[in-house]
Amino acid sequence: MSTWLPSLITETPQDGYDLAVKLSRVAVKLTQPDPAARERMRPVYAEDADSLIAVSQVVATHFATVAAANGYWKGAP
C-alpha cells in the first residue's frame, strides 16, 4: 500500500477537519474493500440516525487526534 498520510500536520483547523473526514472514509474502505458492498449498505445507514451519530463520533475522535498533533493550531505539536 502506498503512503497516503505523510503527516497529521495541517495548515488550518478546517484542513484538519477535512483530514479527519478523510481518515474516517479510508477506515471504511479498508474495513470493507468491496465498493459494491459499500454502495449496497449506504441507503441503510443513510436513513439511520444512530449510524449517522456514530459517524460523527468517529470523525470527532479523528479531529481530536489531528488537533492535538497540530498543537491545536496555537503552538508547537
Say if 77 falls within a structural domain: no
> How many domains are there within the chain?
1
In a domain, 58, yes or no: yes
Whether the model clears a pTM of 0.95, i.e. scores above it, the answer is: no
pLDDT range class, residue 2, cuts 50, 70, 90 = confident
Is 39 inside any structural domain?
Answer: yes
Confidence of residue 72 (pLDDT cuts 50, 70, 90): confident
Domain-located, residue 7: no
Average pLDDT over residues 66-74: 90
Q: Is 2 contained in some domain?
A: no
Nearest-angstrom CA–CA distance, 13 and 42: 28
> Is 57 within the bounds of a domain?
yes
Percent of the chain with pLDDT over 90: 87
Contact 20, 62 (CB under 8 A): yes
61: in domain:
yes
- Is residue 66 domain-resident? yes
Q: In this predicted model, what pLDDT tens digit does every residue of 23-50 receive, in sequence order?
A: 999 999 999 999 999 999 999 999 999 9
Q: Is the pLDDT of residue 67 over 90?
A: yes
Domain that holds residue 54: 34-71
